[in-house]
Amino acid sequence: MNKRALELTVENMMSKPKGILAMDESSPTCGKRFAAINVEDSENNRRRYRELIVTSPDLSNYVSGAILYDETFHQKMSNGEFFRDYLNSIGILPGIKVDTGAKDFSNHPNEKITEGLDGLRERLKNYALLGAKFCKWRAVITINEGIPSEACILSNAHALARYASLCQENNLVPIVEPEVLINGEHSIEVCDTVTRATLKCLFEQLDLFNIYYEGIILKPSMVISGDNNKKRADVNTVAEMTINCLKEMCPQTLGGIAFLSGGQTDEESTSHLNKMNKDNSDLPWRVTFSYARAIQQSALNIWVGKDSNIKEAQLMLSGRAKLCSAASVGEL
């Protein structure tokens, strides 16, 4: 492990006023989003859409790193240049999603375990040789009656720690993503309890694996009411409870924190992040964004597969990225 190399990557990823663009949707997920706008799910259309994203004007002013899916990492743009090389050339670090998805957790109905550890060391070596600077692994924690179970939290935390250890061995910064899903009727207080239990277990596992905290980035969900809760907490409450949770549960030496948007509306994702940064200038780590839908979805809805809509879609995407950037420094 080259600690200084990891620190430098983290510093670049956490540089103000930027955040991380998540464009690592798997082909099946991309297919679902294309189906919603009546666009054929083909490798060429996925390339066209991803090229629209990365060539949006001024993107590198707001984005420090981009998480790619394996297909995109090995894919060439229309000019013959690899996406990963193009991103590097405009000052955006290329990263790679390395888990293989959340699968049903045996003997635990309605819970998921993320897979992808088999063969990971060799895959990481190859990604590093091809220019990746960081990786991402997502765990999924569901809130419902009687869940999450301790077994689900522990198993996912253990997998995240093993992944992080292998990343640092290859001088790749691990983005560690324990997502507590927004889906449900639960209160913000229940979300807070589950998030705290998840983070406690996660950092216990990371400690066991001797993870170098200055060389990782946490990608958590916010402490927020379930999306079907009839009395959802307001912006001030979400910001305050999220920051309190992180201050009490996260090591001060952590490289940085980059939130997922996790089903929030575009407005919610920026308002919550802005409030956190506006009210907390003395945090031990930077708090920014690692959004996918909250940056891309509006642009996707404009594009609908038509070249004639590319410029308008790109302006929308750049505008969303600019708003997220402003929110990451409390200047929205």
pLDDT in tens, 123-148: 999 999 999 999 999 999 999 999 99
If you ran DSSP here, which 8-state letter would residue 20 be given?
A: E
Look at residue 96 and give its three-state secondary structure.
strand
CA distance 193 to 332: 29
| Model confidence pLDDT, tens digit, residues 72-131 | 999 999 999 999 999 999 999 999 999 999 999 999 999 999 999 999 999 999 999 999
Owning domain of residue 182: 3-327
Q: How confident is the model at residue 27 (pLDDT cuts 50, 70, 90)?
A: confident
Structure-block tokens of residue 165: 């250890």
Q: What is the mean pLDDT of residues 310-326?
A: 98
Supply the residues annotated as catalytic.
177, 219
Residue type, 111: E
Specify if 112 maps to a domain. yes
| Angle, helix 150-169 to helix 120-129, in steps of 10 degrees | 40
| pLDDT given at position 49 | 97
The stretches of the chain forming alpha helices (DSSP H) are 3-13, 27-36, 43-54, 70-73, 83-89, 120-129, 150-169, 188-208, 235-249, 266-279, 293-303, 310-327
**CATH number of the domain to which 37 belongs:** 3.20.20.70
Q: Across-strand partners of 258?
A: 288
Q: Domain count for the chain, please give it.
A: 1
Specify if 332 maps to a domain. no
> Quick one: what percent of the chain has pLDDT higher than 70?
100
Q: Which has the higher per-residue pLDDT, 82 or 27?
A: 82
Specify if 51 maps to a domain. yes
Specify if 168 maps to a domain. yes
Specify if 157 maps to a domain. yes
Residues 8-22 as b/e (b if ≥16 CB within 10 A, e otherwise) read: ebbebbbeebbbbbb
Residue type, 232: R
For residue 212, give the nearest of 248, 269, 171 by alpha carbon. Answer: 171
| pLDDT given at position 5 | 98
| Model confidence pLDDT, tens digit, residues 231-247 | 999 999 999 999 999 99
